Amino acid sequence: MPKDNSIKKVLVIGSGPIVIGQAAEFDYSGAQACAAIREEGIEAILVNSNPATIMTDKEIADKIYIEPLTVEFVEKVIAKERPDSLLAGVGGQTALNLAVELHDKGILEKYNVRVIGTQISAIKEGEDREGFRALMNRINQPVIESETVETVEDAVKFARKIGYPVVVRPAYTLGGTGGGIAETEEELCDICSSGLHLSRVHQVLIEKCIKGWKEIEYEVMRDQYGTCITVCNMENIDPVGIHTGDSIVVAPSQTLSDREYQMLRRASLDIISACDIRGGCNVQLALNPNSFEYAVIEINPRVSRSSALASKATGYPIARVSAKIALGYGLDEIKNAVTGKTYACFEPTLDYVVCKIPKWPFDKFYTAKRTLGTKMMATGEIMAIGNSFESAFLKGLRSLEIGQFSFKHKKLESCTLDELKEKVIIADDERIFALAEMLRRHYRVEQVCKITGMDIFFVEKFRWIVEQEELLSEMEYEELSPAFLKKLKRRGFADKAIAELLDVKEEDIRELRFKWNIVPVYKMVDTCGGEFEAESPYYYSTYDEVDEVEVSDKQKVMVIGSGPIRIGQGIEFDYCSVHAIMALKKKGIETIIVNNNPETVSTDFNTSDKLYFEPLTDEDFYHIFLKEKPMGVILQFGGQTAIKLAKFCQKMNIPVLGTAPQHMDEAEDREKFDEILEKLHIKRPKGKAIWSVEEGLKVAEELEYPVLVRPSYVLGGQGMEITYEAHQLERYLLNAFDRDPENPVLIDRYLMGREIEVDALSDGENILIPGIMEHLERAGIHSGDSTTLYPSVNISKEMKEKIITCTQMLAKELKVLGMINIQYIEYKNDLYIIEVNPRSSRTVPYISKVTGVPIIDLAVEAMLGKKIPELGYGVGLYPEPENFYAVKVPVFSTEKLPRVEVSLGPEMKSTGEVLGVGKTVEEALYKGFIAAGKSLPMQGGTIFATIQKYDQDEFVEIAKRFASMGYKFIATDGTAKKLEENGIPARVVEKLSVPPHNKFVNEEDEIFKLFRNGEVDLVVNTPTKGNDSKRDGFRMRRIAIESSIQILTSLDTVRAMADIVAKQVTTDQTDIYDMGARRHE
């Protein structure tokens, strides 16, 4: 059946900001789907609140609305654009939920919009637990028996029916507490009664325990004519019980015989047929390792993180094919874009092993409870390809950028076997290293399998790696033979790992290898195991004889990607990498991308001319460089990951396009940078490195409080803090030197001023500043966590001039070619510099979109030698728009991470961002807040306040405004007193009491009850000291966030909310804007 010609205009809904569980994979799928739609001559209208995405580029869709993903705003888009169709399946759960809501509210019917692809009824059937279970029963597919109960009696009754052990999962609990596995009725009564108590809704789920079963996923496709295929299956190395997003996953499955493989494949296809899926779908199954017994865990009737992984693992473009199916095509009518010969209707076969490892944010959130469970905590992931399991896994390990090149883990070496055992049983992010350490100490493989539920197939592989590590440790460098070295390289060992184990330098191993001619070759990912000739330029390295890469004699440039998504380095950098490639392609230069993140657009098979799916380490990068010999490599778009390669490039004389490595170093080295600032007469907050508590206190006196303190080496334990008084500083320093007496602590004067951020382009002489951004929150909150305004509202003309001059001087002095990002503070009418990044920053996509300046294109031109005045966008500050404001609002995933500090500070916590645009600042802010999911307190709402003493005066002024608008206040003792003194009535509540042993909170506390009962609309809390999970402020913030109550920890944000409320901005009054039309007005 050919394309449905009645489809002319399709609305595509994106997935919104990056949060844990919903990351860059939906930018990838959305962008791919839009391209698939537009090449058919069909108009694509895009709505997504996330500006840091490729999909919201004017090149991707015909009309782009960066608007809040709420029913109200999407309805506005529908009313304005009148699309005939809606594609919901490429924007994650967000888009799916929105589509269902639009349908249920009759909006789709009202505007005559039909859903294409999987239909609403099917989505509902797949998502609704009871509905899905009924369907599975109808088609004889086993599900895991479970029931939601509200009493212990019901739990016992159900458990008797399904048999022990059972899993008890309380619904909505604090700090991820409660629940567990009950082996007996007695245990069940215990766990269940405490679970019911902890649950906000007094419900627990009782589920048949399938602990230790294998978790297997199938990515399947189906068209509306009933043809269905599986794209890929995947096996989780971690058994059922750990979220697949937090599991190490291999593709294809390794331990399933054909009979098991086909049984589960058949089940998956039967399920999607029964659900009438039209497009891609993910089916998760649990398989009893000791029989053919299996159970369906769940399905995702849409493209997903797993489908992005499957796409990259196989080369099969799932989102693209899903979009084509939605347009009416059958699978047998869609060409396989990879081979160009075969059709989308086939099943990819792999002739390599793919390994995915999650990237967790615990290096930033060191107070977090790291236990892995059924709720995903990883912010991103890496994928690695090898032709053995060991090589895929070891490549994956070093792609994570956690300093691990082998299994040798310093911290765990000092653990006892008991401690290690506990770590692998409870399972946290370091379990794999703990497991390896156990094997190193000859703990029995069979027993490791028993206590972890991992298949012995994998554990034996790990044991083999450990065994080689031990051999190396006991070996002398001179004893290393070519045969052994080759064997290690074939199995994925990094030079660095071998060098560390032999106690030599990495280059010693490299030189040896080159001498012995042990170098990698590259193999192609082609979907068909080499059976057909393929056109896909998608490669991975192996230590084989035959190389498949054809190196062209064209001019070529290598772009280094940004690796896994983590806090502080998100999708923004992939945006930059992709744009760099597009700019280079436009110039007729062959492009090569190196990256290891399967979620991204940059690793799509047709983004660049060549894709190397490899770790971003010196070694792996160098081999590709040697292979391709590009005219230069571009590092400045890949965040810190790419910048890390600068030193190596300098050492190896690898041509870097753009700012030279030694100048990058000048910007990053504190001392060298201070010299430059002095020379240019640019101020920075005074500061010093100190070595003792006494020295610190003395320096702080000189600098004047408040001061910003931070360790010079972040060892994971203590971050930055702002201290206002000597005793606070003393406590911090005592703690810091106690943890690490070897390194100094940095003390800077803390200027409580306005923070200003600038991204600039430089050709070494001239600069162009696309826009000056003002932070809503004052200095002290990480720039990534600040609400950012463009154009600025409070920066004077003179100050702007000063910023332009300073930026120009710095760019010139640092010989910047390409991008530079500078953060300033305006304090008492003076300009201070706080940070310089000689690279592209996370604000680039945002500012590109709202100014219409194609920043990355221009940066690439500058790197290749063009002068800025020639580029057609002028020099200095690009003209600011009138009557147009665009506000970037950060989005957090803190509620998903138990025991993580909520309050904002100098360390970044946000995972994503949204944009709000409007004719006034208030409109833009309003939309930004709505898009970020921040609910504004309704007129006459209740504000709960607990404010530290340094902020109380300021808070009173804001509180007065809220009070005059009819808001009520509840406050703790000191704050309430202060409010009362200023004529604002406030109900006083007791602080949180010390909770009973092993509990996070005393449920009798009044604050707890207020939050739980939803009697508070907004919590305003400015914290005294951060990161101490035992303090009541910390607990109060966690209770608020886990009770889904809006909490603000910066008074600047609260003030902005007061402004919006005072102006009475409502959704009805706000407008929507096509961002595509904004460019080049």
Q: Residues in the site for other proteins, rule: CB under 8 A?
A: 225-227, 229-230, 252-262, 265-266, 269, 289-291, 330-332, 341-343, 345-353, 387-389, 455-457, 460, 523, 528-533, 544-546, 548
Q: How far is the CB of 276 from other proteins (least distance, A)?
A: 15
On whether the CB atoms of residues 380 and 400 are closer than 8 A, the answer is no
Per DSSP, the three-state class of 215 is: strand
Cis preceding linkage at 869, omega within 30: no
Q: Which residues pair with 1058 in a beta bridge?
A: none
Measured from the CB atom, the residue of 270 and 954 that comes closer to other proteins is: 270
What's the CA gap between 272 and 336, in Å, rounded? 22
Q: How far is the CB of 13 from other proteins (least distance, A)?
A: 30
Measured from the CB atom, the residue of 222 and 800 that comes closer to other proteins is: 222
DSSP label of 213: P
Q: How far is the CB of 230 from other proteins (least distance, A)?
A: 8
Per DSSP, the three-state class of 708 is: strand
Measured from the CB atom, the residue of 227 and 982 that comes closer to other proteins is: 227
Please enumerate in sequence order all residues whose Cβ is within 8 A of that of 934, keeping only pairs 6 or more positions apart, or say none.
Answer: 889, 1046
Q: How far is the CB of 282 from other proteins (least distance, A)?
A: 18
Measured from the CB atom, the residue of 349 and 640 that comes closer to other proteins is: 349
Measured from the CB atom, the residue of 30 and 252 that comes closer to other proteins is: 252
Measured from the CB atom, the residue of 457 and 691 that comes closer to other proteins is: 457
Measured from the CB atom, the residue of 457 and 713 that comes closer to other proteins is: 457
Q: How far is the CB of 316 from other proteins (least distance, A)?
A: 11
> Which secondary structure element, helix H or strand E, spans residue 918, and what is its range?
strand 912-918
Q: Which CA distances in Å does 282 have to 269, 304, 378?
A: 10, 7, 19
What's the CA gap between 11 and 235, in Å, rounded? 35
Q: How far is the CB of 617 from other proteins (least distance, A)?
A: 23
Please enumerate in sequence order all residues whose Cβ is within 8 A of that of 333, keeping only pairs 6 or more positions apart, or say none.
Answer: 1, 2, 343
Please enumerate in sequence order all residues whose Cβ is within 8 A of that of 16, keeping only pairs 6 or more positions apart, or say none.
Answer: 22, 48, 49, 50, 69, 91, 94, 891, 912, 914, 931
Measured from the CB atom, the residue of 353 and 432 that comes closer to other proteins is: 353
Please enumerate in sequence order all residues whose Cβ is within 8 A of that of 714, keeping only pairs 6 or more positions apart, or say none.
Answer: none
Q: How far is the CB of 595 from other proteins (least distance, A)?
A: 23
Q: How far is the CB of 460 from other proteins (least distance, A)?
A: 4
What's the CA gap between 105 and 112, in Å, rounded? 13
Angle between helices 120-127 and 92-104 (to 10 degrees): 120
Measured from the CB atom, the residue of 387 and 952 that comes closer to other proteins is: 387
What's the CA gap between 83 and 922, in Å, rounded? 29
Q: How far is the CB of 259 from other proteins (least distance, A)?
A: 6
Measured from the CB atom, the residue of 531 and 678 that comes closer to other proteins is: 531
Q: How far is the CB of 347 from other proteins (least distance, A)?
A: 4
Measured from the CB atom, the residue of 533 and 1015 that comes closer to other proteins is: 533
Q: How far is the CB of 1074 from other proteins (least distance, A)?
A: 40
Q: Which CA distances in Å does 1003 have to 173, 176, 466, 478, 898?
A: 12, 16, 48, 65, 18
Measured from the CB atom, the residue of 273 and 805 that comes closer to other proteins is: 273
Q: How far is the CB of 252 from other proteins (least distance, A)?
A: 5
Q: How far is the CB of 348 from other proteins (least distance, A)?
A: 7
> What is the token pair recorded at 798?
């003179």
Measured from the CB atom, the residue of 533 and 990 that comes closer to other proteins is: 533
- C-alpha closest to that of 747 among 672, 696, 704: 696
Cis preceding linkage at 165, omega within 30: yes
On whether the CB atoms of residues 220 and 331 are closer than 8 A, the answer is no
On whether the CB atoms of residues 623 and 546 are closer than 8 A, the answer is no
In 687-732, at which residue ranges do the beta strands (DSSP E only) sit? 687-690, 707-711, 721-723
Measured from the CB atom, the residue of 291 and 883 that comes closer to other proteins is: 291
Measured from the CB atom, the residue of 109 and 531 that comes closer to other proteins is: 531
Measured from the CB atom, the residue of 529 and 996 that comes closer to other proteins is: 529
Q: How far is the CB of 124 from other proteins (least distance, A)?
A: 26
- C-alpha closest to that of 434 among 470, 471, 459: 459
Q: How far is the CB of 332 from other proteins (least distance, A)?
A: 5
What's the CA gap between 964 and 441, in Å, rounded? 69
Burial class (CB within 10 angstroms; exposed 0-12, middle 13-18, buried 19+) of 704: exposed
Q: How far is the CB of 547 from other proteins (least distance, A)?
A: 9
Q: How far is the CB of 355 from other proteins (least distance, A)?
A: 12
Q: How far is the CB of 520 from other proteins (least distance, A)?
A: 13
What's the CA gap between 104 and 11, in Å, rounded? 17
Q: What is the CA radius of gyration of the chain?
A: 29
**Angle (CA) 714 720 726, round 5°:** 125
What's the CA gap between 969 and 835, in Å, rounded? 39
Helices (H), 128-257: 129-138, 152-162, 185-198
On whether the CB atoms of residues 803 and 831 are closer than 8 A, the answer is yes
Measured from the CB atom, the residue of 145 and 347 that comes closer to other proteins is: 347
Measured from the CB atom, the residue of 175 and 289 that comes closer to other proteins is: 289
List the 707-711 sheet strands across, edge first: 687-690, 745-749, 707-711, 721-723
What's the CA gap between 510 and 552, in Å, rounded? 26
Strand 912-918 vs strand 885-891: parallel, antiparallel, or unpaired? antiparallel
